[in-house]
Amino acid sequence: MSPKYVYFFGNGTAEGNATMKHRLGGKGANLAEMTNLGIPVPPGFTISTEVCDAYYKNNLQYPPGLEKDIEQNLSRLEKLMGKKLGDAENPLLVSVRSGAAASMPGMMDTVLNLGLNPDAVKGLIKKTGNERFAWDAYRRFITMFGDVVMGVERHDFEEVLDQYKKKARVKNDTDLNAEQLKNIVEDFKAIYKKKTKESFPNDPHAQLDKAIQAVFSSWNNPRAVKYRQLYEIKGLLGTAVNVQAMVFGNMGNHSATGVCFTRNPSTGENKFYGEFLINAQGEDVVAGIRTPEPITNLEKEMPVVYEQLVKYKNILEKHFRDVQDIEFTIEETKLYMLQTRTGKRTARAAVKFAVDMASENLIDKNIAITRVDPNQLDQLLHPTFDPKAKREVIAVGLPASPGAATGKVVFNAEDAEKLAEKHEKVILVRKETSPEDIGGMHVSKGILTTRGGMTSHAAVVARGMGKCCVAGCGSLNVDYKSQTFKVNGKIVKKGDYISIDGSTGEVMLGQVPTVEPKLSGDFATLMEWADAVRKLKVRTNGDTPEDAKRARELGAEGIGLCRTEHMFFGENRIDSVRQMIIAAPDVRNLKAKIANLEKELAKAANNRAGEIKKELTQTKNELKGPLSLYTSALRNLLPIQRRDFEQIFKAMDGLPVTIRLLDPPLHEFLPQEEYNQKDIAKKMKITLKEVQDKVSALHELNPMLGHRGCRLGVTYPEIYDMQVQAIIEAACAMKKKGITVYPEIMLPIISTEQEFIILKDAVHRVAKEVLQKKGMEIEYKVGTMIELPRAALIADKIAKHAEFFSFGTNDLTQMTFGFSRDDVGSFVPEYIEKGILEKDPFQILDQEGTGQLVEIGIKKGRTTRPDLKVGICGEHGGNPQTILFCHKIGMSYVSCSPFRVPIARLAAAQASLQQPVSKATV
């Protein structure tokens, strides 16, 4: 039996259903499902994604028998409709549309009104009695076929159309009469012939063949490939092709077309939302060529049709149990549903949809948790414009996608991408966006268009990306040639700053200040449900009391990484740090010399003793200067560090705080500029040359592998002693004030068991001295950061002494790959493009290599210490894919930046629902 490649739908029955998305694509599967539900859908057939897969695997050749299957299904469609493709009496017109299993709006190609030729136009006029409609359909078909199938630039056609409108002194396409449209068709054919070197095809079967091939080819067009990369869409066979009988919204004032959502995709409100255009085709709504009307106005224009539309949208939402994005056409007051799919939504709307639908018993709480993409929450966790700030509003458009964005104006996607590479914030300003702009839209902070409505390409894509967008801002006069826009007498040039408010539609000059978001209501409810099911704890990486407070408000259950070196860069402390570093090598060297001289003196003969004593006295005198500088610097830093820790303990009252002792190479703190070196020389009362010599002496060829982390603690023990003293003293001070403290002291860059033993003993010694002096007891832990492959491999030995592990996956990735994380930008993008790497391993944890070391470390550590608490504190800790991995391998917690905490909480809950059994020990 030959494989089935083509699936028919129509007249209340379909050969497919909604479960067949992998084979029929989302559009085809849902057309079949709507047909089976009895919803009015124009009949047609779907060519499966398996054909697309075979097409690319077989050197762009179709599988055997496909042409015959298409012909049979076309004949079936003609019989059902009582029309024939290309017929001069009663012509059948069809649409040819793409549709992959994952929604990719606007990324692949569509051809409408296919089947028109001079004979079919006459038949269409004869059948409908509407000459203007027939010629309008023909000019649309030539434009789409030329653009999509043959690669003729759309603007070549649009320029001619604009000339006709200008000559006729009309604004809209709908104001052109039949004779004008007929002339436009002839001009369009001439353009087609000039650009393609062939006449426009009159054979409708040849038209169909070419259109189907074009849709399959569009699977690998640059914008579709880019979209799949951006949204990590993988594992699909390709696109399906849907061939469907045309219904016409451009037959006059009793016809219309529109796009609607069963609930508001921006705010999440349970209100019917959408737009429509009278006497138009679907491309007019999406492309933003005319500004459409709100869907509620349809009730006044066509009350019976509106009532039917509301009925069907309710049926579809209840059936699919999710918000639907629906396309419809009204032909002479008869309603047809052309498409339904899960609606793209903002983060705010996604949260509200999930909570409301669970409250309505449409879904349960667990499904609600899985309905929100954790990464999407980022949209809710960033600033909005300060309502108290002055705003110079120069224009107001439609609030198409909420949020606040400030940036430099650019007028094309290429410039947006170039500036973004330089870490510039940009606002992409376009008359209307098209799928070719996808790369520029992705890197822009916001998008501003002069045309289009709430369901235009710009609006839909911006909402999906979580970008702020203002659409349909018609008062802006954009001039691409001069790279400016004019509005109300003001001229804004490329590179000027503007601010746009996607919640109000306001466009403002300059940079408007922002305020931090506050989360409550539906967000809090969803987070409460997530917290009830997740196994992983979520901590934050925080180095300041402000970080700690913000993270706690966002649900952090402790600090997983407090980087003490970040505390040293303040103006009132960096000088002391530099003084300590500059003096430290001399102190170390002179102490070593004194120790050696004392050994020599003990063994020396009488005739050598005097000479050694003299040198010993001289060396001790030499030590006094640098030792004084060293100890005074440590004395200055001690109370500063103590205050830092007190404030963090206070902010984290009752929660654990993991403090990493000083880690980075010492040279990072030293001044590199001469004017700074002069300043520190003056303060330390030493010469500029002495400072420069110290800077030079501390320079390392590979500092990331050099004198840092625990190596500093071993060679300069006074630094770690000072930090431990500050931690324990701060804990005592807070305990006296009724604050519950759980300090966890973390030793970095451990690679041997003996390193840990030496430093752990020093920690206990200092802590014991402080606690005895204070007469208090503090429960504290000493653990390590596993960030070297060797540490992971000997984790069982380290765990004999360490009370917790925290995996520093930034350094572990660096050491595992042998990549410098500061230099990977020069080659990793090419590695990803060539398929050598799937993702940047510094953004998403490499589970195959680095992840294996993490898993080995956990297993080995828990063989020695079964109750070992294990976390992750690299930037990976806020990535949902990494969080799922951490859950699977039994970690106790993840730690991430404050604004990623809610994302981690939701991702951890989804991981629990995906993998209910966890070995995590909390």
Neighbours of 476 (CB within 10 A): 22
- Is 93:125 a contact under the CB 8 Å cutoff? no
Amino acid residing at 72: Q
Question: Can you tell me the distance from the alpha carbon of 393 to that of 905, in angstroms, rounded to the nearest whole number?
Answer: 38
Question: Can you tell me the distance from the alpha carbon of 483 to that of 758, in angstroms, rounded to the nearest whole number?
Answer: 65
Dihedral sign, Cα of residue 286, residue 11, residue 44, residue 129: negative
Residues 6+ positions from 77 with CB-CB distance below 8 Å: 8, 10, 43, 44, 45, 92, 94, 243, 245
Q: Is 22 a catalytic residue?
A: no
Among 260, 873, 886, 896, the one annotated catalytic: 873
- Is 556:609 a contact under the CB 8 Å cutoff? no
Among 260, 442, 457, 886, the one annotated catalytic: 457
Q: Is 479 helix (H, G, I), strand (E, B) or coil?
A: strand
Question: Can you tell me the distance from the alpha carbon of 67 to that of 810, in angstroms, rounded to the nearest whole number?
Answer: 54
Length reported for the chain: 922
Residue closest to 116 by CA, chosen among 147, 148, 83, 163:
83
Q: Can you state the angle between helices 204-217 and 66-81, rounded to 10 degrees?
A: 120
Residues 6+ positions from 244 with CB-CB distance below 8 Å: 31, 42, 43, 44, 94, 95, 97, 338
Maximum CA extent, the chain: 129
Q: Is 205 a catalytic residue?
A: no
Neighbours of 423 (CB within 10 A): 6
| Joined tokens for residue 300 | 């006044």
Residue closest to 5 by CA, chosen among 212, 246, 214:
212
Cite the DSSP H helix spans in 775-849. Answer: 789-793, 795-798, 809-817, 828-833
| Cα Rg of the chain (Å, integer) | 34
**DSSP code, position 1:** -
Residue closest to 384 by CA, chosen among 447, 454, 446, 442:
446
Residues 6+ positions from 682 with CB-CB distance below 8 Å: none
Dihedral sign, Cα of residue 619, residue 620, residue 623, residue 625: negative
Question: Can you tell me the distance from the alpha carbon of 443 to that of 438, in angstroms, rounded to the nearest whole number?
Answer: 9
Question: Can you tell me the distance from the alpha carbon of 882 to that of 375, in angstroms, rounded to the nearest whole number?
Answer: 12
Residue closest to 446 by CA, chosen among 493, 502, 399:
502
Catalytic residue annotation: 457, 873
